[in-house]
Amino acid sequence: MRSNYEEQIGEATKIQRQICQGTDKIVSRKFGAVAKVLWPAKTAAQVAVIASTNERTAARWLSGEFEPPAIVIAAVIVEITKRE
């Protein structure tokens, strides 16, 4: 049997866990949309090569699940402004 104090700690822990595991996403999907315009075929593979990472990580950046690092965003900007 739990004491009143232990129940309060358990309830506070449960509330804190719910706050920490929020489903809000701060990252937008604009990066992915721009990258798909620049590299329509195998976008994740292209971004992975630029970032020297694997395709799964690149796919997460493109989906908006995680924010891409600044070097990847810089590579996209260079690609956009490239003169041919």
Question: Rounded to an integer, what distance in angstroms lies between the CA atom of residue 55 and that of residue 46?
Answer: 8
* pTM of the entire predicted model: 0.61
Listed ranges 26-30, 32-36, 57-61, 75-79; the one with the highest mean pLDDT: 57-61
Q: How confident is the model at residue 20 (pLDDT cuts 50, 70, 90)?
A: low
pLDDT greater than 80 at residue 8: no
Which residues, 6 or more positions from 72, have their beta carbon under 8 angstroms from its beta carbon? 47, 50, 51, 61
pLDDT given for residue 15 in this prediction: 65
Q: How confident is the model at residue 74 (pLDDT cuts 50, 70, 90)?
A: confident
Which tokens hold the place of 50?
């630029």
pLDDT given for residue 16 in this prediction: 63
Question: Rounded to an integer, what distance in angstroms lies between the CA atom of residue 25 and that of residue 36?
Answer: 20
